[in-house]
Chains A and B, each alone.
Chain A
Amino acid sequence: MSEPLFEFKNIHVEVEGKKVVHGVSLKINKGEVHAIMGPNGSGKSSLSNALMGHPAYKITQGEAFLDGRNLINMSADERSRAGLFLAFQYPLAIPGVTVANFMRAALQSHRGKDADMTDFRKLFTAQMKELHVDRSFATRYLNDGFSGGEKKRIEILQMSMLKPRIALLDETDSGLDIDALKQVAEGINRYHNDENGVLMVTHYQRLLNYVKPQYVHVMYKGQFVTSGGPELALKLEDRGYEWIEKKVGQEAEV
């Protein structure tokens, strides 16, 4: 078997001196879609931020590789250029920076300082159309006054433009109505192919109705407590996270 597209091993994360992730490991091969599910406060977002290189989320132990390249000593921008993408749970507003200028700067950084950007406008316009984003958003300030759904669509727009090797989607379904959820899911499915990978991090099962994972991992108190196929997501939907809490409790007693 060839080497995995994305792999992290025994990742421990600390935030402000507090340990929030205690040794998690995962392998994602090309073409795979994985989901990490878990209740609030289980460490899902901390893991996502730490993998992306957020300075406040320190990886104190463990390794992470993308296309065989060690990510741990890379800064966030280097990880992005190496092919990692994080769609944020709460995309931040950057006043005074237009969506178009931001997108151009991001794409330029991926292509290299002197790379040709003459196709930018065409690409950008096409992607906006596919994601049902109004053209007027190009000249609006990034996420400034955007609704929850608009912010998430703009995140997916960024993913579509940057074409990462691995897309980490942190609660991308939160705050979306059903139409927006479908459009965002379509965007993810359009992006996904046999050469890249998707890792969805979510509290609810509903996004998984539209973007089908082959593997589901359940995170609880900073650890992966169980893994399985798509049926695991349905089981969680059915039984709720209490089932996991009981299960972990029982195992601890044994």
Chain B
Amino acid sequence: MNNSATQIPTDNSTYHIPEAALDLISGPQWLHKMRQTARKVFNDTPLPQRGLALWRYTNPESFLVDHNQMVGAQSCEGCNKTTEEVRQQFNDGNLAGLAIDCCGRDIEIQTGPDAEQGLVILPLSVAMDTHEKLIQKHFGQLVGSDTGKFEALNTALWHDGIFVYVPDNTTIENPVHLLRYGDGAKTTYYPRLLIVLDNNAQLTLIDEYSDGSVEHDNGYAYVNGAVEIFGAKDSRCNYIPLQQHTSSTRIYLNHRTRIEQGASTFTIPLVFGSGLSKENFGVYLDGSGAESNIYGVLFGSGHQQFDNHTLHHHRASKTLSNIDFKVVLRDRAVSAYTGLIRIDQNAVACEAYQGNRNLLLNEGTRAETIPELEILNEDVQCSHGATVGPVDPEMVFFLTARGINREEAIRMIVSGFIEGTLSHIPNNLQERISNIVQQRLEVN
């Protein structure tokens, strides 16, 4: 997946974070120090080598921007056009909370009656004052300057983000919906999200990424995001990142979750957007009995390029992980999926399963699938499987033999293919996702 649009840097300083950039961002002293470290790491770290495992399919230069664009938008314009449907759901009482994050600059938050139970949704900039200890304990632990060059970029330059907290023994029934908007050509947006679930807390969160502005004629927008989720003992988190950026946006997103004893997490990546994207979904299973499921759906069309990773790192015994990552591609879209299962030597009696199925709707699409297993003890059950291929012609014949035309038959088969995944997402999102898939199947 070469991207010829990126210029080869001739002068390295062009792609350095200027020192003055950090002075534009306020915050507590410890955070400022973290930013300074991250800035240094980013500036001093060479680009990842193309041959290395996670960079086989995407040119890392694609995620560099010159220092003019790097600093990010100083103000946000036009990020409020597509929020009505979600606002309506909130007004109808179907959401526990709603946050609209425009370019990491303006963050609007609404919470319903669930806030009385202790649900906290705040801009990170505010939470730095109100919940400083909690944030200091967690922030940057999963995605920070030591994660990688591009994570260091986010850690140095993110402006504002969202903090979500659910206290002990609290179940938030309705989902929380976050809308995160980047803004147009030649801008950079550094979304940042920190979720903390205390013991036995439960939360469902939809994390929706898109572009507030569709004016992209003058160059691409860049989104570099970081998500950290902490699930304490016996907590349960359903996290649904929905990515619908326009094709003139490039994105680099790293989502990391850490769960403790008896905790479980469902991660349901719904990947539809952006011209070039690299998304990383990782879960650390750190306590006995912890369970993680990742059920993903990706639909690519046009000239979209996707490079997705999953990581299940079993760091405690009797932990269970399961991945079912489904990919549908049409036109000239390409996808690479790399799934790593790592089971530590002292993590015994673990189970880990991984599946990646790729449906190619026409010639000219391409899908790569790379399972990676690092299993350091014998007492595990582990399996992985992958398929890449066109829609089964026998299925098409079966449906057409009942009078259903070929196009409709393919729509039904593709919808059926992702149906099992959609059954895990909240009801009020299911119809929207079905509609997105139907639209993607129809547009020529």
B-contacting residues of A (Cβ < 8 Å)?
52-56, 75-77, 79-81, 86, 88, 91-92, 94-97, 101-102, 105-106, 109-110, 141, 158, 162
Would you mind naming 22 contact pairs between A and B with Cβ atoms under 8 Å apart? A53-B397, A55-B397, A77-B400, A77-B403, A79-B401, A80-B402, A80-B403, A86-B401, A88-B401, A92-B394, A92-B395, A94-B395, A94-B399, A96-B415, A96-B416, A96-B419, A102-B399, A102-B402, A106-B399, A109-B402, A109-B408, A162-B403
Contact assessment for A55 and B406 in the assembled complex, using a CB-CB cutoff below 8 Å: no
For window 393-444 of B, CB contacts with A under 8 Å fall at: 393-395, 397-406, 408-409, 412-413, 415-420
Q: Which residue of B lies closest to A54 (CB)?
A: B397
Contact assessment for B417 and A96 in the assembled complex, using a CB-CB cutoff below 8 Å: yes
Interface string of B315-351 (1 = CB under 8 A from A): 0000000000000000000000000000000000000
Compute how far the CA of A81 lies from the CA of B403 in the bound complex, rounded to whole angstroms: 5
Q: How many residues on the B side are at the interface (Cβ–Cβ under 8 A)?
A: 24
Contact assessment for A97 and B402 in the assembled complex, using a CB-CB cutoff below 8 Å: no
State which of B405, B412, B420 has its C-beta within 8 Å of the C-beta of A94.
B412
Contact assessment for B403 and A94 in the assembled complex, using a CB-CB cutoff below 8 Å: no
Contact assessment for B402 and A94 in the assembled complex, using a CB-CB cutoff below 8 Å: no
Given contacts A91-B398, A94-B395, A102-B399, contact A77 B405 (CB under 8 A): yes
Contact assessment for A94 and B404 in the assembled complex, using a CB-CB cutoff below 8 Å: no
Compute how far the CA of A88 lies from the CA of B402 in the bound complex, rounded to whole angstroms: 11
Q: Considering the complex of A and B, which 9 residue pairs feature the smallest CB-CB distances, nearest first?
A: A96-B416, A96-B419, A80-B403, A109-B403, A106-B402, A97-B416, A76-B400, A77-B400, A92-B398
Q: Which residue of A lies closest to B423 (CB)?
A: A96
Contact assessment for A77 and B406 in the assembled complex, using a CB-CB cutoff below 8 Å: yes
Q: Which of B397, B401, B412, B413 has the most CB of A within 10 A?
A: B401
Compute how far the CA of A201 lies from the CA of B67 in the bound complex, rounded to whole angstroms: 74
Q: How far is the CB of B410 from chain A (nearest CB, A)?
A: 12
State which of B398, B406, B408, B420 has its C-beta within 8 Å of the C-beta of A96.
B420
Residues of B contacting A109 with CB < 8 Å? 402-405, 408
Contact assessment for A97 and B397 in the assembled complex, using a CB-CB cutoff below 8 Å: no
Compute how far the CA of A162 lies from the CA of B398 in the bound complex, rounded to whole angstroms: 15
New A-B pairs, 4, CB < 8 Å, besides A77-B409, A81-B403, A88-B401: A92-B394, A94-B413, A94-B416, A109-B403
Residues of A contacting B417 with CB < 8 Å? 95-96
Q: How far is the CB of A99 from chain B (nearest CB, A)?
A: 12
Given contacts A96-B415, A96-B420, A141-B416, contact A52 B398 (CB under 8 A): no
State which of A75, A97, A101, A110 has its C-beta within 8 Å of the C-beta of B400.
A75
Q: How far is the CB of A88 from chain B (nearest CB, A)?
A: 7
Residues of A contacting B392 with CB < 8 Å? 92
State which of B398, B400, B416 has its C-beta within 8 Å of the C-beta of A88.
B398
Compute how far the CA of A106 lies from the CA of B393 in the bound complex, rounded to whole angstroms: 18
Where chain B touches its partner, the secondary structure class is helix
Given contacts A54-B397, A94-B395, A109-B408, contact A162 B402 (CB under 8 A): yes
Q: How far is the CB of B387 from chain A (nearest CB, A)?
A: 13
Compute how far the CA of A75 lies from the CA of B397 in the bound complex, rounded to whole angstroms: 10
Residues of B contacting A76 with CB < 8 Å? 397, 400-401
Q: Which of A88, A96, A101, A141 has the most CB of B within 10 A?
A: A96
Q: How far is the CB of A130 from chain B (nearest CB, A)?
A: 19
Q: How far is the CB of A1 from chain B (nearest CB, A)?
A: 30
Contact assessment for A52 and B401 in the assembled complex, using a CB-CB cutoff below 8 Å: yes
Compute how far the CA of A79 lies from the CA of B406 in the bound complex, rounded to whole angstroms: 13
Residues of A contacting B416 with CB < 8 Å? 94-97, 141
Compute how far the CA of A206 lies from the CA of B203 in the bound complex, rounded to whole angstroms: 59
Residues of B contacting A54 with CB < 8 Å? 397, 401
Interface string of B20-46 (1 = CB under 8 A from A): 000000000000000000000000000
Q: Which residue of B lies closest to A144 (CB)?
A: B416
Contact assessment for A105 and B420 in the assembled complex, using a CB-CB cutoff below 8 Å: no
Residues of B contacting A96 with CB < 8 Å? 415-420
Contact assessment for A158 and B402 in the assembled complex, using a CB-CB cutoff below 8 Å: yes
Residues of A contacting B405 with CB < 8 Å? 77, 109
Q: Which residue of A lies closest to B398 (CB)?
A: A92
Q: Which residue of A lies closest to B408 (CB)?
A: A105
Compute how far the CA of A109 lies from the CA of B401 in the bound complex, rounded to whole angstroms: 11
Residues of B contacting A75 with CB < 8 Å? 400, 406
Compute how far the CA of A106 lies from the CA of B415 in the bound complex, rounded to whole angstroms: 16
Residues of B contacting A91 with CB < 8 Å? 398
Compute how far the CA of A158 lies from the CA of B403 in the bound complex, rounded to whole angstroms: 11
Given contacts A94-B412, A96-B418, A96-B419, contact A106 B404 (CB under 8 A): yes
Contact assessment for B412 and A105 in the assembled complex, using a CB-CB cutoff below 8 Å: yes
Contact assessment for A55 and B420 in the assembled complex, using a CB-CB cutoff below 8 Å: no
Given contacts A54-B397, A77-B403, A162-B403, contact A95 B420 (CB under 8 A): yes
Q: Which residue of B lies closest to A93 (CB)?
A: B395
Residues of B contacting A94 with CB < 8 Å? 395, 398-399, 412-413, 416
Q: How far is the CB of A90 from chain B (nearest CB, A)?
A: 9
Interface string of B121-145 (1 = CB under 8 A from A): 0000000000000000000000000
Residues of A contacting B415 with CB < 8 Å? 96-97
Residues of B contacting A110 with CB < 8 Å? 403
Q: Which residue of A lies closest to B416 (CB)?
A: A96
State which of B393, B401, B403, B412 has its C-beta within 8 Å of the C-beta of A97.
B412
Compute how far the CA of A53 lies from the CA of B396 in the bound complex, rounded to whole angstroms: 12
Compute how far the CA of A76 lies from the CA of B400 in the bound complex, rounded to whole angstroms: 6
Compute how far the CA of A164 lies from the CA of B392 in the bound complex, rounded to whole angstroms: 26
Interface string of B192-221 (1 = CB under 8 A from A): 000000000000000000000000000000
Residues of A contacting B401 with CB < 8 Å? 52-54, 76-77, 79-80, 86, 88
Q: Which residue of B lies closest to A92 (CB)?
A: B398
Residues of A contacting B399 with CB < 8 Å? 94, 102, 105-106
Compute how far the CA of A230 lies from the CA of B241 in the bound complex, rounded to whole angstroms: 65
Q: Which residue of A lies closest to B397 (CB)?
A: A54
Q: How far is the CB of B422 from chain A (nearest CB, A)?
A: 9
Compute how far the CA of A138 lies from the CA of B393 in the bound complex, rounded to whole angstroms: 24
For window 353-403 of B, CB contacts with A under 8 Å fall at: 392-395, 397-403
Compute how far the CA of A79 lies from the CA of B403 in the bound complex, rounded to whole angstroms: 8
Q: Which of A52, A88, A97, A101 has the most CB of B within 10 A?
A: A97
Contact assessment for A102 and B412 in the assembled complex, using a CB-CB cutoff below 8 Å: yes
